[in-house]
């Protein structure tokens, strides 16, 4: 069983306290930066004004760690774009849980995460 580490919560300037809508979607992304789950959660927890966050960061491969950054009762800022447009017609920060997969970069510069 995987344990969820809650020791590195997000800085309060990087999410919205509470929810306006019930959770309907899971938004799974890759981080787009090198580092493990602890390092990513620590980054979002130690700096205000980033303008982004996620509920969970998931490590690479076997023995993967999971860090909760934003409690599920709060709204993380993980989907949508800075221009206000969305790829999905209904999934929004207010109605989803954001899961960021820690990733790697191959020799060609393409990001990927472990299965």
Domain ranges of the chain: 4-112
* Rounded distance between C-alpha atoms, residue 30 and residue 79, angstroms: 12
> What pLDDT digit, counting tens, does each position of 68-86 carry?
999 999 999 998 766 777 7
Task: Decide yes or no: CATH 3.20.20.100 for domain 4-112.
Answer: no
The pTM of this model reads 0.90
pLDDT for 114 beyond 80: no
In terms of phi and psi (left: phi > 0; alpha: psi -120 to 50; beta: otherwise), the region of 29 is beta
């Amino acid at each position: 069983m995987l344990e969820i580490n809650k020791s590195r919560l997000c800085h309060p300037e990087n999410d919205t306290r509470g929810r306006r809508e019930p959770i309907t979607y899971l938004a799974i992304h890759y981080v787009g930066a090198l580092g493990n789950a602890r390092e990513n959660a620590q980054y979002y927890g130690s700096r205000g004004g980033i303008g982004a966050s996620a509920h969970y960061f998931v490590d690479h491969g076997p023995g993967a760690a999971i860090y909760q950054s934003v409690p599920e009762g709060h709204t993380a800022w993980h989907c949508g774009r800075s221009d206000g447009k969305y790829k999905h017609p209904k999934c929004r920060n207010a109605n989803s849980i954001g899961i960021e997969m820690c990733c790697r970069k191959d020799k060609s510069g393409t990001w990927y995460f472990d299965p």
